[in-house]
Amino acid sequence: MTLTANTRGPLAGLIVLDLTRVLAGPYCTLLLADLGARVIKVEMPEIGDDARHIGPFIHNDDGPPTSAYFFSVNRNKESIALNLKVEADRLLFDKLLASADILVENFTPGTMDKLGYGWDVLHGRHPALILASISGFGQTGPYRALPAYDMVVQAMGGVLSLTGEEGGPPTRVGVSIGDIGAGMFAAIGVQAAIIERMRTGIGKHVDIAMLDSQVALLENALARYQVDGVVPGPIGSRHPSITPFGVFKAQDGYLVVAAGNDRMFPRLCDAIGLPDAKTDPRFATNPLRCEHHAALKMLIEQALAARTAAAWLHHLTSVGIPCGPVNDVAGVMRDPQINARGMLMELPLPNGKPFITAACPIQFVGEEPQASQPAPDLDQHRASLLNELGV
């Protein structure tokens, strides 16, 4: 007997086996699940995904505490506990593989070969299967066998060197972009492989490195270094190539102002009461404003000191200047636009209480978001999966 796929969503009809843990891999399979694929999470018995043991924890009346970390990136997935070093569990895994379209793993390269599920073996047995491998450094290169975490690839990929205040120490980005970036690129790679398989009938091995993903996110830092020979460093919240474009202090706090071109700058000057800045030769063009960014910031903040951040946001918005509040997480959860877009999803915890997590940002006009299921307990779906397989 074979597994039945989901029937709703762009990826309906596809079955994903998920051998991943912690964040990069689970984020990839979260996106695939949100888009309609049926995702079956295969976890180590008794232990499960490492993220189940990372706090903060939500305490339940019955059963073990729930990891909020795990809960946030594993919705819409099923769980079965299998030890791939045990023959009986391998037989069950092989039955799951027979129905699968995609297998996602984030072991250190070589581990799947040791388990007997390397690409050559899988491709020989299941030519249409797509394998996505997510690792710190990829399947090739001198670092391929090294372990990695988000912090490591942020450092090696140059991101830490670009983040923080000028003259300050290397600074980690506030979210795990080393993991999240790799997970997103993996989901894109999987979908590209699906399209190619529709033409050829043959699956591909998608190779995603966390380090590669960080290099891909360097934006124009590589270009700037080649143009002027100056190694880019941290510059706080301002943009290296556009001014004014950053965080500015008002009377009672901060706001972001992004006057991103020469047409918009005079409008900003009029809006905040700096008419002389419009004709100041130091600020005549964007490159000149970048050169004299410190002087311009001082003038802007002197003007903004006259009113509250909220007052300026209202006024600047009314005259078409891109701007926004500097929300903390509590502010994000209160923001009317974020709530109107349905980006805060409420799911039930094992204790019955609601838990809010970020929803899928991919929306389709004219379609209601699919109902979501909370992250599974370890081995929660064993009985139903075995029944479906006829075991």
Residues 304, 250: contact at Cβ < 8 Å? Answer: yes
Residue tagged active-site, from 239, 292, 315, 381 = 239
Q: Where are the alpha helices (DSSP H) in 171-281?
A: 177-200, 210-216, 221-228, 264-272, 275-279
* Residue 239 appears among annotated catalytic residues: yes
* CA-based nearest residue to 104, from 71, 77, 72: 77
CA distances from 207 to 5, 137, 221, 226, 281 (A): 25, 10, 25, 28, 51
DSSP 334-355: H-HHHHHTT-EEEEE-TTS-EE
The tally of CA atoms less than 13 A away on the side-chain side of residue 195 is 6
User: Tokens for 242?
Assistant: 């556009």
Residues 19, 42: contact at Cβ < 8 Å? Answer: yes
Residues 205, 131: contact at Cβ < 8 Å? Answer: yes
User: Tokens for 375?
Assistant: 């992250």
The tally of CA atoms less than 13 A away on the side-chain side of residue 209 is 21
Name the maximum alpha-carbon separation found in the chain: 80
Q: How far apart are CA 76 and CA 132, in angstroms?
A: 19
Q: How buried is residue 71: exposed, middle or buried, by Cβ count under 10 Å (0-12/13-18/19+)? A: buried
Amino acid at 371: A
Residue with the two structure tokens 């299967």: 129
**Residues belonging to the active site:** 239
